[in-house]
Amino acid sequence: MELDLILFGELVLLGAMLVVLGRALLRPQREPASRIAWMIAILVLPVLGIVAYLLVGEARVSRRRSARYAAIEARLPRPDGDPEAALVLGRGHFHAPFALARAVNGLPPTLFNQASLAAGSNQAMTGMVADIDAAETSVHLCFYIWLADGNGLRLKDALIRAARRGIKVRVLADALGSRLFVRSRHWQDMLRAGVDARLALPVGGLVWTLIRGRVDLRNHRKLLICDNRVAWCGSQNAADPEFRIKRRYAPWVDIMTRWEGPVARHQQFLFASDWMAEGGDDVTALLAPTAHRAPPAASAGGIVAQVIGTGPIQPFPAMTACFAELIHAARHELVITTPYFVPDEQLLFALTSAARRGVKVVLVVPRRNDSRIVAGASRSHYPALLDAGVQLHEFGPGLLHAKTMVADGLAGLIGSANLDRRSFELNFENNLLFADAAFAAQVRARQDEWLALSSPVTPATVAAYSVPRRLWQNLLAMWSPLL
């Protein structure tokens, strides 16, 4: 009898292994490296591998939520673009990145935009609060992390002031990233003041969440849109740069940009899709052509800008494709900053190929990362990058959290997405692709400030890594498709 039970258990385990292996092999939009890593995990550690795959092996959005996103995406009108933008792009060599970006959300490039770069995190918050205080009709906000610190409370107070003077204030905060804030009295203060505040991707019961989807699918976007006319986009959370929950890595060094023009209404499209997916009221009227102010005259020119919103509901790995397309378009120089660098094959090959064809490729990452796993996996790629000619730098004073990419001093990407698999596959992200030499120069100047505070990583630096350290880094890189 005991032998029969053992045999039955082995057959059940074998059957489960075959089913899960089949899912790992048949899952669409998956890299070969990811399939191989999951196959090894399931075969070597069957029970642990099967459980891990069922929990985090697939970027599963619940069936009900997927249907809701699809219905909203189909119903939302796409704001107009500007035909003149195509003419501007046609005069340069960055048409391809914009064409690919349009395929992500159906949002065309816009012209007649003006942008400014905040001097720092505190100054960015001052600017956002000023725009909220000046709002006349609506304030829409979405943040991944919201802390009850100086900047977080300044933002809360501004939203309450706006709601009390009759402005329609709609707020989204990620349920996991902002969990401390949404459980605090400050969240209740906003609700009592008339702020329509909702949780993005609510977790609920852990077991039920794991059954219906993944608990670690998060809304990582950072958005503020006022009056359908002004929009803020960048890497900063609603928090002080001292970032109290991880103060040992502080200061968090971020970048935030303020935009005026038609691109603000395109940012509104992303907020509207998230807002309505969380049960908010219908805001499609804000996307109609008559709902925004007329653009300046054509003679005013302006920045070409295009919104990119990605997430696990996308039918292809959109964000990594957009990054790679801009890298491929670079001809002379490419400067990138990111706090988390865990590239997939497409991105790694794009970077090394650019360096090998003579592009000056500069990559800046933090010296001290708040994730030891990410830091180890990131450094495992240093030898390949250096061998290809990529210039590597590690930022010293704090955690460089800014996500920027500037190509040839003419075009760039800025926003919430990191160069890691979480941003590529699991998070809802918002980035902005732009083409304008003057604004690109501003971002490049900021990148140069960070480079001045960074130390170069040389082949000699990497060669000095101990054998155990290299083994640990390569082990993390090998399993990074599972992370």
The catalytic residue positions are: 220, 222, 227, 401, 403, 408
Which two tokens mark 389?
A: 């000619």
29-67 residues labelled b (16+ CB within 10 A) or e (exposed): ebeeebbebbbebbeeeeeebbebbeebbbbbbeeebee
Say how far apart CA 2 and CA 477 lie, in whole Å: 42
- Cα 43 off chain centre by: 33
Compute the chain's Rg from CA coordinates. Answer: 23
User: Other CB atoms closer than 10 Å to residue 445's CB: what's the count?
Assistant: 10
Say how far apart CA 346 and CA 353 lie, in whole Å: 11
Which two tokens mark 429?
A: 């992200």
Residue from 218, 215, 202, 203 nearest 55 by CA: 215
3-state SS, residue 334 = strand
83-89 contacts at long range (C-beta below 8 A, 24 or more positions apart) = 84/111, 84/298, 85/109, 85/110, 85/111, 85/304, 88/304, 88/435, 89/304, 89/435
Say how far apart CA 192 and CA 327 lie, in whole Å: 48
Say how far apart CA 211 and CA 213 lie, in whole Å: 6
Say how far apart CA 294 and CA 465 lie, in whole Å: 58
Task: Reply yes or no: is the peptide bond before residue 109 cis, omega within 30 of 0.
Answer: no
Point out which residues pair with 341 in neighbouring strands.
419
User: Phi and psi (nearest 5°) for 428?
Assistant: -85, 120
Close Cβ partners of 40 (under 8 Å, ≥ 6 residues apart): none
Point out which residues pair with 224 in neighbouring strands.
141, 232
Which residue matches tokens 């971020």? 254
User: Other CB atoms closer than 10 Å to residue 470's CB: what's the count?
Assistant: 16
Residue from 335, 323, 326 nearest 452 by CA: 335
Say how far apart CA 43 and CA 379 lie, in whole Å: 28
Burial tier of 349 (Cβ tally within 10 Å: 0-12, 13-18, 19+)? middle
